[in-house]
Amino acid sequence: MLKLKSKLLPKDKTIIKPPMDTDEHRSKNKKILILGVGNRLRGDDAIGCLITDELKSINGLIVIDCGSAPENFIDKVCSLAPNEIIIVDACNFCAEPGKFQLFAERQIEKISSQLLSTHTLPLSLTVAMIKKQLPCKIQLLGIQPESINFGEGLSLRLEAAKSQIVKYLKDLVKNNEKTNDQVFIKVEKES
């Protein structure tokens, strides 16, 4: 047990902090959180949510389907205390429909204006609110949509790309395991 002494408490009081909550423990036990973002009723904008459906059974990932309001999951995300967050969302970055790209945290604000306007708040604001509470790496896996018109189902190009995106995320987890990081197994789906 790690004992932390506080100047705010009387000298005879000690706060006991379990080792599981230490920074050393968290760095050795890496948690990856995948946030699927999108609107299932807006064509290709559903891709982030549909990817989370595919990843539910993958060991080593915490998966949350945030729908079109990822800001509603900030408390849940912070309570899970992941080391890394990958947000999966449709994003117009002027590529061929179905292409995807991993954007670093510093790039999210730059491309935030290009994210589809089906979200309640800008994604960059959600990222900033998480970062205020949690020291973790945040990335965006942006997927170029073809159509975000009302209607269920992906365009043919995004439907074809979906399996490649799932494979890409599975490979990220495998690479994580190769570095001898213990990856927690916990899958959750919010509706």
Residue 130's CATH number:
3.40.50.1450
Token pair, residue 89, equals 């969302």
**Is position 13 within any domain?**
no
Contact between 155 and 44 (Cβ < 8 Å): yes
**Is position 114 within any domain?**
yes
**Is position 135 within any domain?**
yes
pLDDT (tens digit, 9 = 90+) per residue, 42-63? 999 999 999 999 998 876 678 9
pLDDT at 176 over 60: yes
**Is position 175 within any domain?**
yes
- pTM beyond 0.75: the answer is yes
pLDDT at 188 over 70: no
Contact between 169 and 32 (Cβ < 8 Å): no
Neighbours of 177 (CB within 10 A): 13
The predicted structure's pLDDT at residue 75: 96
**Is position 102 within any domain?**
yes
The predicted structure's pLDDT at residue 185: 30
Q: Answer with the residue of higher pLDDT: 112 or 168.
A: 168
Cα 156 to Cα 159: distance, rounded to the nearest angstrom: 5
**Is position 71 within any domain?**
yes
Mean of pLDDT over the chain:
79
Where is mean pLDDT largest: 57-66, 67-76, 118-127, 169-178?
Answer: 67-76
Give the domain extent around 144: 31-183
Contact between 62 and 188 (Cβ < 8 Å): yes
pLDDT-derived band at 116 (thresholds 50, 70, 90) equals low
What total number of domains does the chain contain? Answer: 1
**Is position 20 within any domain?**
no
**Is position 163 within any domain?**
yes
